[in-house]
Amino acid sequence: MRAMSIGATGMLAQQLNVEVISNNIANITTTGFKGMRAEFKDLLYENLRRPGSQSSDTGTIVPTGIQIGNGVSAGAVYRINTQGSVEQTGNSLDLAINGKGYLQIQMPDGTTAYTRAGNLQLDANGQIVTSDGYPLLPSITVPADTIDITINNSGQVFAKVDGQVALSNLGQIQLATFANPAGLEAIGDNLLRETPASGTPTTGNPTANGFGKLQQSSLEKSNVDIVQELTNLITAQRAYEMNSRVIKSADEMMSSLNQLR
Amino acid sequence: MARQGKRSMESTGLILLSQQTALQRQVEVLANNIANANTTGFKTQRMLFQTQPMATQFDDTLQFVIDRATMRDPTTGPMVRTGNELDFALQGAGYFAVRTKQGTQYTRAGSFGINSDGDIVTQEGDTVLSADGQALNIPQDANQISLDATGRILTDKGEVGKLKVVTFKQEQAMQETGNSLYKTNEAGQDATDTRVVQGAIEQSNVRPVIEMTQLTQAVRAYQQTANMIQSEHDRLRTAIRTLGRVSAS
């Protein structure tokens, strides 16, 4: 009986849905996190069609045949790249990106990763790094006797060094944009990696055409909407139950057949 | 013309069998509806049953049931805001046109994305078509994608094009091909009073309450039929036994 396997595809799909939703809820306070959404599609249809079958003696024709679907499958799990709310933190190395773009991070294996989590820090050499210690690209080193760091909207980094009147320009933070940011691959630790689907990065200064602006002493919060996620969770759970009812119903039908003597 | 048939001892069993086959199909259709209760742009399917009259040598007709067709319930599903600027929902009749390997197909699932060339594509990667049959290309340096009241997609770097939305006279003749796509041989007309909404998607129009009650009904009817087959079988057995005894004595 096909109904059983159709119900099974429904349960699998809702299970994936719950997994995606629970990951969103788990990351409700993760800096720069973008919520994901599971998108479903119907499976192939079986055509038990009777083309041009007549529905009456006068020759009227049923306009459609019999098409029986085979259930549902996961179409895609895609990132919703909306802007998260920006929160003031007071930490001078916290950067929020308002608009398009990703910070570029140098990975230990030499590749470049991308992130919107701008909770940056200094390492032992004064280099600006992520909370995991991966250096920011292009690399910027802050002198040892710096009192204060100022980063403006367009990404220029200035340091007030002890004993100097003028601020010294330490460098320029650049952002990368992609044709299809939803195609970036998440590799954990708030980092994303370029894929053939995302396209190649275009780098530029913040506030330039097509790039967002930087906001110092702020962080972009997760864009997950908890109310929406919880409603989705309930919907997914109920849908799961309904699909299990389908399997049970199919089972009852088969058992009534088996009871025939 | 109702076909001339013979009424025989098996007629009851055959009629019941026709019902069981039909009910089994119906449960499959219901199962598919329930499985797709969360599928964007999905339309509920309904099984269409019909009686198949068959005249007998006596002056009466036997009525078999056959599953004639599956119909789609074309009502618009509930609209859900996602906030994603590449999600589009259709308010009113019509379909988005999509270029697939099998030619142009149509869909109401408007959860689109961008591919690495900047073209608007479906989640399967098929190109979404503009009113003049071209791909809709979003410039890479565009910051914002918006939609005006007439369905034109605009960015801060200029107009991209108008989404192609078509309606069909024979909507029921469209065939599902899976992946939320439909195909048809009809050319279709440009939709005139359908509104495209940005940042929202049309959910499945499956109403779980109705599907679940129908499922329960179908299962009960199936069990009832099984019971009738059983009692019919008993009746025949008794008849054969009794008649056999009569002729032997």
pLDDT at A30: 92
B45 vs A contacts (CB less than 8 Å)? 67, 69
The answer on pLDDT for A52 being more than 70 is: no
Residues of A in contact with B118 (CB under 8 A): 179-180, 199
**pLDDT band with cut points at 50, 70 and 90 for residue A60:** low
Asked if B222's CB is within 8 angstroms of A253's CB, the reply is yes
Complex ipTM value: 0.76
pLDDT at residue A1 in the model: 78
pLDDT of A239 over the 90 cut = yes
Average pLDDT, chain A: 89
Look at residue A56 in the predicted model and tell me its pLDDT. Answer: 63
CB distance B230–A260 less than 8 Å?
Answer: yes
CB contact under 8 A, B208 and A238: yes
Is pLDDT at A48 greater than 90 in this prediction? no
Whole-number Å distance between alpha carbons of A176 and A62: 56
Within chain A, where are the H helices? 2-26, 226-258
pLDDT of A183 > 80? The answer is yes
Q: How far apart are CA A213 and CA B187, in angstroms?
A: 47
Question: Torsion angle, CA of B30/B33/B35/B40, rounded to 10 degrees?
Answer: 180
The alpha-carbon gap from A108 to the nearest alpha carbon of chain B, in Å, equals 27
Q: What is the rounded average pLDDT of the residues B211-232? A: 92
Question: Given pLDDT bands bounded at 50, 70 and 90, which one contains residue B9?
Answer: low
Task: Return d(Cα B139, Cα B157) in angstroms, integer.
Answer: 7
Residue among A53, A180, A209 whose CB faces B114 most closely: A180
The length of chain B is: 249
For residue A47, list chain B residues with Cβ-Cβ distance below 8 A.
Answer: 175
Examine the pLDDT at A18 and tell me if it is beyond 90: yes
Residues of A in contact with B238 (CB under 8 A): none
Give the pLDDT band (50/70/90) at residue B1.
Answer: very low
In this structure, are residues A159 and A168 in contact, taking their beta carbons and an 8 Å threshold?
yes
CA-based nearest residue in chain B for residue A55: B68
pLDDT tens per residue, range B24-47: 999 999 999 999 998 999 999 998
Please state whether A163 falls in left (phi above 0), alpha (psi between -120 and 50) or beta: left
Q: Does pLDDT of A8 surpass 50?
A: yes
Q: State the pLDDT confidence band at B5, using cuts at 50, 70 and 90.
A: low
Tell me if A242 and B34 make a contact (CB, 8 A cut-off): yes
Minimal CA separation from A61 to chain B, in Å: 11
Pairing of strands B61-72, B145-147: unpaired
Residue A64, pLDDT score? 67
Tell me, yes or no, if B236 comes closer than 8 A to chain A by beta carbon: no
State both tokens at B74: 């074309």
Closest Cα in chain A to B237: A261
Q: Structure tokens of B108?
A: 């109401």
Residue from A140, A150, A136, A135 nearest A103 by CA: A136
- Looking at residue B125, its amino acid is G
Which residues of chain B does A67 touch, with a Cβ-Cβ cutoff of 8 Å? 45, 70, 175-176
CA A237 to chain centre: 22
Residues in chain B closer than 8 A to A45 (CB atoms): 175-178
* DSSP-assigned states of every residue in A201-235: -EEE-TTSTT--EEEETEEEPP---HHHHHHHHHH
pLDDT more than 70, % of chain B = 95
**In sequence order, what are the beta bridge partners of B97?**
B106
Q: What is the pTM of this model?
A: 0.82
Q: What is the mean pLDDT of residues A232-251?
A: 93
Per-residue pLDDT of B177-187, as tens digits, reads: 888 899 888 88
Residue B34 C-alpha, separation from nearest chain A C-alpha, in angstroms: 6
pLDDT digits (tens, 9 = 90+) for A106-127: 999 999 999 999 999 999 999 9
Q: Across all residues in chain B, what is the average pLDDT? A: 87
What one-character DSSP code corresponds to residue A30? -
- What tokens appear for B8 in the block? 């025989």
Say whether pLDDT at A214 is over 80: yes
Read out DSSP for chain B?
Answer: -PEE----TTHHHHHHHHHHHHHHHHHHHHHHHHHTTT-TT---EEEEEEEEEEE-SSS-EEEEEEEEEEEE--PPPPEEE---TTBEEEESS-EEEEEETTEEEEES--B-EE-TTSBEE-TT-PEEBBTTS-B-BPPTT---EEE-TTSEEEETTEEEEEB-EEE-S-GGG-EEEETTEEE-S---EE-SSPEEEETEEEPP---HHHHHHHHHHHHHHHHHHHHHHHHHHHHHHHHHHHHHHHHH-
Residue A136 pLDDT level (bands cut at 50, 70, 90): very high
Cβ-proximal residues to B211 (8 Å cutoff; 6+ apart), any chain:
A242, B30, B33, B34, B37, B44
Instruction: Quick: pLDDT tens for B110-157.
Output: 999 888 888 999 988 899 999 988 999 988 777 788 888 778 898 888
pLDDT at A260: 81
Lowest-pLDDT range, A52-61, B71-80, B165-174? A52-61
The predicted model gives B157-166 an average pLDDT of 90
- Dist CA B140 CA B123 (whole Å): 19
The whole-number pLDDT of residue B8 equals 67
Residues forming beta bridges with residue A127, ordered by sequence position: A141
State how beta strands A175-177 and A168-172 pair. Answer: unpaired
B170 and chain A in contact, CB less than 8 A: yes
Q: Please determine, for residue A70, whether its predicted confidence score (pLDDT) is greater than 80.
A: yes
**Which of B27, B40, B124 comes nearest A3 by C-beta?**
B27
The predicted pLDDT at position A200 comes to: 87
Residues of chain A neighbouring B25 (CB-CB closer than 8 A): 48, 66, 68
Residue B2 banded pLDDT, cuts 50, 70, 90: very low
User: CA A116 to CA A124: how far, in whole Å?
Assistant: 23
Contact B114 A182 (CB under 8 A): yes
Distances (CA, A) of B115 to A126, B86, B136: 39, 12, 11
Whether B192 contacts B163, CB under 8 Å = no
Are A219 and A81 in contact by the 8 Å Cβ rule? The answer is no
Report B:62-121 residues touching A (Cβ under 8 A).
67-72, 82-85, 109, 111, 113-118
Which of A80, A238, A249 is closest, CB to CB, to B27? A249
- The verdict on B237 touching A (C-beta cutoff 8 Å) is no
Chain B nearest C-alpha distance from A96 (Å): 17
pLDDT-derived band at B247, boundaries 50, 70, 90? low
Task: Please identify which residue in the block is written with the tokens 């019941």.
Answer: B16
Q: Is the Cβ–Cβ distance between B28 and B214 less than 8 Å?
A: no
pLDDT at residue B244, rounded to an integer: 85
